[in-house]
Structure 1
């Protein structure tokens, strides 16, 4: 009897220790994935649900698989090499290629940062707050959070921000949808060759797998100090993050499909969706949707400039860590500050062509993604960098097929955008 008690006690202690270790090591994967549900992502999912109902919700399943594959490779490179992605690209492919890649990424991320501050302005206007108050306040808050904190404190705030995405899930349950119809739509592919529907499908994929994500994930893993021994926990972190981000996307599409689409209401922005929900799903659902947009925009307005600072500083060999002070890493914090205050300042200018900025930033993302993915696959198979952690034969086949599909979709997105 004593042996049995000792046996179960040992199992319990081991299980709790492993669970505690997992929670200590998680963060980069969950944060990177969830921040992708930013103002642009929420707008895309809202439009998909409002314009096409449940027809495109099934896409989230293959997108989740693709995101797990891509993010797992980034996490593996981070824990094994101890270097960021832009650092590895510079070492393997040279400074000239890295320089041009960083210039393109800088403009794409600046455009995306503008979208986040536009999201802050739009969400706070629903609550009756002028953008001339909300945008400067938001900019100062996200700047102070990172510049005055360290990696641990910043990560804790980011993880709390991830929890607030539950507002979309709560809103989804509040409307009491027909779950049998939704379940059927989720597992039944339905895509015709209507140009608008195809563009929307590519938009869903494009907003879920963005170039900046790969750089940020690997940089944050390095900054957190994770090593090869932590790989299995980093992989679990990535898988959990990739699933949760698409669960939130699922509820946003479903919410807009069941309310707006079924009532024939068309929208153009996430703000329109939040306002249109009030008479259909109740004021609480509408306010939760607006709060979710505010949280997502603030979250991404912190991460996108941070990702840019990490990536460019690593590429040029400058100090890049949240565990340093401003005077120790002036380029890192200077870039972060520039991205935030430039993005916020432009949004406050009257007559800013925001739609054009969003449009061209997505086109740039579409151009950049194929190069980033190919660099990743070449690096992950380099034994000098990865040692025994290179891709196996099966993983290589799956990875290359996934990457080729994503590259094809990126090309279609760019061509269709320019053609229009």
Structure 2
């Protein structure tokens, strides 16, 4: 066991943490709603998005490792300042809304488990996540986040605790049952927006920079870069696959329990946990609710920190979770404000699902130009040197950009109509 623990911490890197953070409480709510509303009919989308998700995260991680700078710091050198600041501003708004939904879901879930006030629990989680980021250096915080990734196995255990028609599941994976109504396609757009999110690009690239700083901050020899890029590739493949497998299991639970039980409308992750209790029993409820709390503790720091990295890099401020707060006051101020404002939104009459919808719209708008700019950067020798992305990554990266462009157009169509 003593040998296993350091080995686990050594081999789980930014890619796995990024993938796990993608399955935040808001994502869990979206996946559960997809299963509750359409049964197993949308499971195929999880595997459709996977190669594009892997490619774009590989691009962001490669940019961070090769250049030693985050995504926004690189874009600052190649995009007009007003455009970059506009994109970063929208990212901060979307992340803050996402934080609000995640912290509210965590508070509601803890209330379901132990009672008390959901608002008090939410405030507690907001303060805890701020303290973790401000006062725990990256080298220690990274280990905490790595261990939190294991909590996602709660959703695998939930599947084992309920009855699943695996024949139907496998059939719908191989033979997708397409529908041509607006709700079906908008759910596909929501799933794409949940799995391919801009905050993940900024986070993973910046974590590669943090890892580089822990080694002394030097880029190293070409051989050292090659070794790190091989590690990045393996780490990202594992992380994104893990993320989508968890999404798959959450959708299976929604389809097998809620859809089969006649519950077709889920508005939050906490409501999903509560709906499971009478249909699947206390054990499934406890697993699902506990998973919401644990994934929130993982995702909220990622959301807040990615916003802080983007803003600090765009303005050229000192940044980094390894730095003491006195060395990067603006960076930590953004983390604190984004988290506490997100927490405060839970005390207002704002409808969390409508807020999440607008967050998805903003993410869809922001993702496309950022992905396109990243794809251009990763093919430029003056930026990447000899470590430009390979042909397969380029094709899949541009394919993912086109897919998110389609998703943005579909959201625009839905808003107009």
TM-based fold match above 0.5: yes
RMSD, aligned α-carbons: 2.0
**Is 2:174 the partner of 1:177?**
no
- TM-score (norm. length: structure 1): 0.91
Shift of 1:410: 2.0
Q: Where does residue 26 of structure 1 map in the other structure?
A: 12
Is the 1:267–1:273 contact (alpha carbons within 8 Å) kept by the matching residues of 2?
no
Query: Aligned residues, how many?
Result: 402
Q: Where does residue 230 of structure 1 map in the other structure?
A: 228
**Is 2:128 the partner of 1:141?**
yes
**How many Å separate the matches in 2 of 1:324 and 1:139?**
21
**How many Å separate the matches in 2 of 1:396 and 1:41?**
27
Shift of 1:25: 5.2
Deviations, residues 323-365 of structure 1 (Å, cap 9, x unaligned): 111111100111111111111122123x233333222211111
Decide which of 99, 106, 110 is 1:124's aligned counterpart: 110
Runs of 4+ in 1 over 6 A off after TM superposition: 19-22
Shift of 1:207: 0.4
- TM-score (norm. length: structure 2): 0.92
**How many Å separate the matches in 2 of 1:151 and 1:250?**
31
Task: Map 1:371-390 to 2 at 5 A.
Answer: 371-390=369-388
Structure 2: gaps spanning 5 or more residues: 220-224
**Is 2:279 the partner of 1:280?**
yes
**How many Å separate the matches in 1 of 2:282 and 2:351?**
31
**How many Å separate the matches in 2 of 1:287 and 1:317?**
45
Q: Where does residue 24 of structure 2 map in the other structure?
A: 38
Shift of 1:23: 5.2
**How many Å separate the matches in 2 of 1:303 and 1:199?**
26
Decide which of 222, 239, 242 is 2:240's aligned counterpart: 242
**How many Å separate the matches in 2 of 1:234 and 1:36?**
18
**Is 2:190 the partner of 1:203?**
yes
Task: Map 1:12-411 to 2 at 5 A.
Answer: 24=10, 26-127=12-113, 128-225=115-212, 228=225, 229-269=227-267, 270-349=269-348, 351-411=349-409
**How many Å separate the matches in 2 of 1:82 and 1:369?**
22
Shift of 1:190: 2.1
Shift of 1:371: 0.7
Cα distance 1:234–1:20, how it changes in 2: closer, same or farther (>3 A)?
farther
Is the 2:107–2:125 contact (alpha carbons within 8 Å) kept by the matching residues of 1?
no
Deviations, residues 284-336 of structure 1 (Å, cap 9, x unaligned): 10111111111222222221111111111111111111111111110011111
Cα distance 1:146–1:393, how it changes in 2: closer, same or farther (>3 A)?
closer
Structure number with larger C-alpha Rg: 1
**How many Å separate the matches in 1 of 2:53 and 2:8?**
21
Shift of 1:174: 1.0
Structure 1: gaps spanning 5 or more residues: 1-15
Is the 2:106–2:270 contact (alpha carbons within 8 Å) kept by the matching residues of 1?
no
Deviations, residues 185-238 of structure 1 (Å, cap 9, x unaligned): 223222211111111111111100011110111011101117523110011110
Equivalent position SS for 1:388:
coil
Cα distance 1:22–1:133, how it changes in 2: closer, same or farther (>3 A)?
closer
**How many Å separate the matches in 1 of 2:209 and 2:346?**
33
Equivalent position SS for 1:362:
helix
Is the 2:60–2:205 contact (alpha carbons within 8 Å) kept by the matching residues of 1?
yes
**How many Å separate the matches in 1 of 2:299 and 2:108?**
15
Is the 2:20–2:242 contact (alpha carbons within 8 Å) kept by the matching residues of 1?
yes
